[in-house]
Amino acid sequence: MIPVNELSFEGNERRYLEECIVSGWVSSEGPFVDRFEKEYSSFIGRAHGIAVCNGTAALETALYALGIGAGDEVIMPSFTIISCALACLRLGAIPVLVDIEPEIWTMAVERIEEKITTRTKAIMAVHIFGNAVDMDKVLELARKHNLKVVEDIAEAQGSQYFSNERGSQWRACGALGDIAATSFYANKIITTGEGGMVLTDNDEYARKARDYRNLCFGKEKRFTHEEIGYNFRMSNLQAALGVARLEQVVNFMRIKAQLGEYYKKKLSGISRLKFMTSRSYTKLTYWVYALTLTPESGMTAEELMRRLEARRIGTRPFFQGLHTQPALKRLGLFGREEYLHTENAYTYGLYLPSGLALTEPKIDKVVEALKEALES
């Protein structure tokens, strides 16, 4: 079986984990948490990093830090993980959706303005499969309508965007909006097992994020709580893993780039598939190698995934649109909204094995199996 994600731990992972155990620092107090916050935030190019227990909590904490609350609307893509909507709902805010761009699967920025109302407070720009949202347009709209911008960089760690709004230069995804959230789940470029981080240059947002992830303990009297917060802390063990992984990030990005290029080369010429592309404003990190079947292929992603599974190749489907999620619709959200490009991506899209431990001979096997699956 070639799994969709496969990891190997060949750096300082064991050494740092052992340091935690030997020193006794295993919960969130301990030197690796600070160190990981500093090192990861400087990797992205942000002044502050606030480590939390997962990416979903990071999104919620980021919205809280911006002051998003009951009745506020947050515009986000329909094509994303449910975490984005959940982060809003837990704060009493309302997710408002826009469709995606068909080729690159990130939010269609030209559809944002029609969704802005007097209650809109923020735009959540979710960079998808390593591809950047066209952030200059988002930043321009935010300025015009006085909105905040949250970036979700869980899938675009290491990707860059050429921003005219931010000094006419390449900037890391996560260093463009007011605040960003990321995830360190096992399939992300940097993993801590489970984990996440909030990133910002704003001192006040950083302070609020730190409070929120730590139960909003009192400043003068520790056990007097003026605000509601949660225990979203990251443990020293998780941060130790993160520090060790971050030491290898340049290598990880090189591996992902090579895998992406190798897939592209090997798959070229298969007519029933459409491959990942990016716009000239993005320096793409192939977080995963994603593709779609063409509608003319007469096959859905579900069918192709079944055929690949039978050939012992692991795959993952694309996101199902938030506007079709039963759990969200039951709350009365999204009425009869339809998002054509999201629905097409869901019906025809999948991603292939893309883990950091994947090798070119394994990719050859994946490509063989894919060709067979398409022909059978």
Binding residues for ligand PLP, rule: CB under 6 A, are 54-56, 80-81, 83, 126, 152, 154-155, 183, 185, 196
Please report how close the Cβ of residue 266 comes to ligand PLP at its closest, in angstroms: 26
Q: Give the separation between CA 35 and CA 32, rounded to whole angstroms.
A: 5
Minimum CB distance to ligand PLP smaller for 81 or for 243: 81
Which two structure tokens, joined as six digits, stand for 302?
A: 């579900």
Judging by DSSP bridges, how do beta strands 94-98 and 73-77 pair with one another? parallel
Which two structure tokens, joined as six digits, stand for 221?
A: 């009297």
Q: How many other CB atoms sit within 10 Å of the CB of residue 41? A: 24
Q: Tell me the residue nearest to ligand PLP as measured from the CB.
A: 55
Minimum CB distance to ligand PLP smaller for 156 or for 333: 156
Minimum CB distance to ligand PLP smaller for 133 or for 147: 133
Beta carbons within 8 Å of 36's beta carbon, 6+ residues apart: 49, 51, 192, 234, 239, 240, 242, 243, 246
Q: Give the separation between CA 179 and CA 268, rounded to whole angstroms.
A: 38
The answer to whether 184 and 55 have CB atoms below 8 angstroms apart is yes
Minimum CB distance to ligand PLP smaller for 82 or for 215: 82
Nearest 5 degrees, angle CA 233-CA 235-CA 238?
120
Please report how close the Cβ of residue 212 comes to ligand PLP at its closest, in angstroms: 16
Please report how close the Cβ of residue 90 comes to ligand PLP at its closest, in angstroms: 13
Minimum CB distance to ligand PLP smaller for 124 or for 139: 124
Please report how close the Cβ of residue 28 comes to ligand PLP at its closest, in angstroms: 16
Q: How many CA atoms lie within 13 A of 175 on its CB side?
A: 21
Minimum CB distance to ligand PLP smaller for 64 or for 262: 64
Write down how long the chain is: 376
Minimum CB distance to ligand PLP smaller for 3 or for 193: 193
- Alpha-carbon dihedral angle through residues 349, 355, 360, 362, given to the nearest 10 degrees: -80
Please report how close the Cβ of residue 190 comes to ligand PLP at its closest, in angstroms: 12
Please report how close the Cβ of residue 249 comes to ligand PLP at its closest, in angstroms: 17
> Could you give the 3-state DSSP secondary structure of residue 47?
coil
Q: Give the separation between CA 62 and CA 209, rounded to whole angstroms.
A: 7
> Could you give the 3-state DSSP secondary structure of residue 322?
helix
Please report how close the Cβ of residue 192 comes to ligand PLP at its closest, in angstroms: 9
The answer to whether 77 and 341 have CB atoms below 8 angstroms apart is no
Minimum CB distance to ligand PLP smaller for 80 or for 315: 80
Determine phi and psi for 143, rounding to 5 degrees: -65, -45
Please report how close the Cβ of residue 269 comes to ligand PLP at its closest, in angstroms: 30
